[in-house]
Amino acid sequence: MPAEREDFPIARVAALARLQLSPAEADLFRAQLARVIAFVDKVAAPASDGPTPGGSEDRAPVLERPDAAVPSLEAEAALANAPDAAGTPRLVRVPKVIG
């Protein structure tokens, strides 16, 4: 288990999120955040043993296909199955999701 850190601004983050945390909840979240950060540090650390998955560490992996420009869909084909696509310019109406 990682060493507990006391410098996580749990109270400030909770206030920004408009959450009211009990001291027990703040301690729980502080411990969970410490474990998450320890895991991220572990994942971000370079591997020191064995070969790397991409081959040499000095060069980027080779792409399997060249990047080539291709023509895109025509507007009519792209909007063929869109509900309520009308008007100029051709726009698609979507339901309002924020009140």
Would you say residue 54 has pLDDT above 60?
Answer: no
For residue 21, is it within any domain?
yes
For residue 56, is it within any domain?
no
Whether this prediction's pTM lies above 0.85 is answered by: no
Would you say residue 4 has pLDDT above 60?
Answer: no
Query: Under 8 Å CB-to-CB from 12, ≥6 apart: which residues?
Result: none
Q: Which residues of 22-52 are buried (b: 16+ CB within 10 A; e: fewer)?
A: eeeebeebbeeebeeeeeeeeeeeeeeeeee
Query: What total of structural domains would you count in the chain?
Result: 1
DSSP 87: T
What is the rounded average pLDDT for all residues in the chain? 77
Domain span including residue 24:
10-44
User: Which range, 27-31, 62-66, 80-84, has the best average confidence (pLDDT)?
Assistant: 27-31
For residue 32, is it within any domain?
yes
For residue 75, is it within any domain?
no
Do residues 32 and 51 lie in contact, with contact meaning Cβ atoms separated by under 8 Å? no
60-70 average pLDDT score: 77
Would you say residue 94 has pLDDT above 80?
Answer: no
Using alpha carbons, list the distances in angstroms from residue 63 to 39, 57, 60, 67, 70. Answer: 30, 16, 9, 9, 18
